[in-house]
Structure 1
Amino acid sequence: MSTTTQRIIECNGIHINIAEQGEGPLVLLVHGFPESWFSWRHQIDALAAAGFRVVAPDLRGYGKSDAPQEIDQYTILHLIGDMVGILDALGAATAVIVGHDWGASIAWQAALMRPDRFRAVAALSVPLRPRGKAPPTSLMPRTETAQFYQLYFMEPGPAEAELGRDPRATIRNMLFGASGDGVAAARAAAAAGGPTPNLAMVPKGGGFLQGPGAPKALPSWISENDIDFYGEEFKRTGFRGALNYYRNIDRNWEITGATAGMQVSVPALYIAGDRDFLLSFPGTDQLLANQKNFVPGLRKVQMLPGCGHWTQQERRNEVSTALVEFIRTLPSR
């Protein structure tokens, strides 16, 4: 069996690091926050073994890819441009695009805007959220004592300082806290009389990282070596590039006015864990119930019992199997 290799390519005016393996039709795997190509390590092997050419980039601002300093260099148009640029650099006319978290948002929008290049889309955790009538930050929850975590991420400085203080501990606590195991532990603690944490809200004057943190023994789906890899990446890069994605949320709304009302026409798959904290966001239940209206090509919604936010890592085999089955049913192009 072939092994995953990495190299730097030039695309869309910057340098992007890609991990790649296998031969056959191209599958592009797009990671989320705060991760890297490494979050797809299990799917890379499985998809390559199934007969596909698999490419997983470090998104701009992450890992070994370039990290432009200017906040406005991280808009959704830049990110889709990077995906198209990767296809061009590889000499590929089309690809199936698969994304998780921020990568899912990129994958949905890439399929929406460039169905000529992205012949199908699979999204993990984040459903397609149609463009609303108001800037997204104006609708984000705020109380006298707390604010939505994405609002906390908006201001340059505090969030990168907090997350960057001990990158390894940050990643370890975030991966556990938002996992199915972390959610179950929090619910058990609340049932025993402890506080009920809300992962989506940041206390005023407080930070994003809340609660007791990860236990000494990690769940079986993540190892200390995995944490080491992520920790070293963010120790080197910091979190500014990753946080700049959030700082363009309203700008993305402004620059995508031309896509209002458009539908994702290509074949689509959606997978999420039933303990994913993103599913508790206001209105998400209705969004999922009506997803077919925005994604007429949606073939399947697969919910993973007991799984949290880190879908492809927590349920590596189920996600890999679902992706292989979905891609194999697509028309060859």
Structure 2
Amino acid sequence: MGSCELNDAIKHGEVVVNGVRLHYAEQGEGPLVLLLHGFPESWYSWRHQFAPLAEAGYRVVAPDQRGYARSEQPERIDAYTLLHLVGDVTALIAALGEEKAVVVGHDWGAPVAWAAAALRPDLVRGVAGLSVPPLPAGPGTLSAARENFGEGFYQIYFQEPGRADAELAADVKSSLRRILCGIQPDGEPRPWIVPEGKKLLDTVPEPESLPDWLTDEDLDVFAADYARHGEHAFTGGLNWYRNIDRNSELMTAFVGQRIDVPALFVVGERDLVNAMIAPEAVQYLLTHLTPRLHRHVRLPDTGHWTQQERPAEVTEALLDFLAHLDK
């Protein structure tokens, strides 16, 4: 059993938003802070942030986003657009009986958080993105990915329904262990590329040992939640990628939309996202899209799994940001 499961203060609940049943974990009382995970993660990726944020006087809620872990998986691929995901966030705030929230997102959760802040500043009083900076309108296009990284780029590999799904679901715990530990085996940022003739997991061999930020018990918690969906354990999350081009079309009206709420950006200096979005491009995006940026935090010796790899530093940055909002 993982460390977060032993925290009796964390409560678990379910709510139906927009016709989809979402599971969430919760701790504390006070202003609402929503924590949105990425791929392939769940509420549990925030295990280190619950207690300190709750002790600082906040109501901390981390949902399994639609398609993930203990939450429901809509069958249609087009039920996972960025607008659906933002709709889940806005509906969740209301379902929790709140009027506003600070929204924090990591990896895929970051575009959801940024978009929620851009589109509904009346509901989002502050936004923090980890790893992925705010983008002009959604997370890019597949044609740009092909041009920059080739057909083997993982986001393109994910597009064929059923292919990556079956590979990853064959051994859920092994797949999670390989991805969490293997996409940056030497700590250097590089795009995740699948060579022609290879399978996805061929690129992420089993690690000889786990990093100090991830235990076998942690993996058990992640795997048990994912395994609830059987052969579709990863399908919900993969369907987010299958809407990249659709998101680009749907978000056309919002190209260049500024995020007019206080913002925080945190990224590891060795995050693989740095190999896909150059640091100078990140700075340009932050300057032009987040006029109320509080801080841009770069964490040394930190890869992609930001809040898990550097829990103390991420929590400190979040607490500083939250205190700034409450002044």
TM-score strictly above 0.5 = yes
How far, CA to CA, are the matches of 1:127 and 1:287 in structure 2? Answer: 10
Percent identity over the alignment? 46
SS of 2:201's equivalent in the other structure is coil
User: Structure 1 residues 212, 106: closer, same or farther in 2, change over 3 A?
Assistant: closer
Paired residues in the alignment total 317
How far, CA to CA, are the matches of 2:259 and 2:170 in structure 1? Answer: 40
User: Structure 1 residues 262, 239: closer, same or farther in 2, change over 3 A?
Assistant: same
How far, CA to CA, are the matches of 2:150 and 2:248 in structure 1? Answer: 27
Quick check: 1:108–1:128 contact (8 Å CA) kept in 2? yes
Residue 204 of structure 1 corresponds to 196
- After TM superposition, the score normalised by the length of structure 2 is 0.92
- After TM superposition, the score normalised by the length of structure 1 is 0.90
Whether 1:233 aligns to 2:225 is: yes
Whether 1:153 aligns to 2:158 is: yes
Once the two structures are superposed, residues 66-114 of structure 1 have per-residue CA deviations (whole angstroms, 9 ceiling, x without a partner) of: 1000001000111011001111111111000000000001000000100
Aligned pairs for 1:235-274 (under 5 A) are: 235-237=227-229, 238-274=233-269
Residue 325 of structure 1 corresponds to 320
Quick check: 2:25–2:63 contact (8 Å CA) kept in 1? yes
Q: Structure 1: where are the runs of 5+ without partners?
A: 188-196
Residue 191 of structure 1 corresponds to none
Whether 1:220 aligns to 2:212 is: yes
Q: Structure 2: where are the runs of 5+ without partners?
A: 1-6
Residue 171 of structure 1 corresponds to 176
Q: 1:331 deviation in Å?
A: 4.0
Q: 1:227 deviation in Å?
A: 0.7
Once the two structures are superposed, residues 109-166 of structure 1 have per-residue CA deviations (whole angstroms, 9 ceiling, x without a partner) of: 000100100111010000011139x971111135998521100001101111111111
Residue 51 of structure 2 corresponds to 45
Q: How much is the aligned-residue C-alpha RMSD, in angstroms?
A: 2.1
Whether 1:302 aligns to 2:297 is: yes
Quick check: 2:34–2:101 contact (8 Å CA) kept in 1? yes
Quick check: 1:183–1:275 contact (8 Å CA) kept in 2? no
How far, CA to CA, are the matches of 1:172 and 1:98 in structure 2? Answer: 24
Residue 140 of structure 1 corresponds to 145
How far, CA to CA, are the matches of 1:301 and 1:160 in structure 2? Answer: 35
Residue 33 of structure 1 corresponds to 39
Residue 57 of structure 1 corresponds to 63
Give the letter aligned to residue 272 of structure 2: F
Quick check: 1:6–1:20 contact (8 Å CA) kept in 2? yes
Quick check: 1:125–1:272 contact (8 Å CA) kept in 2? yes
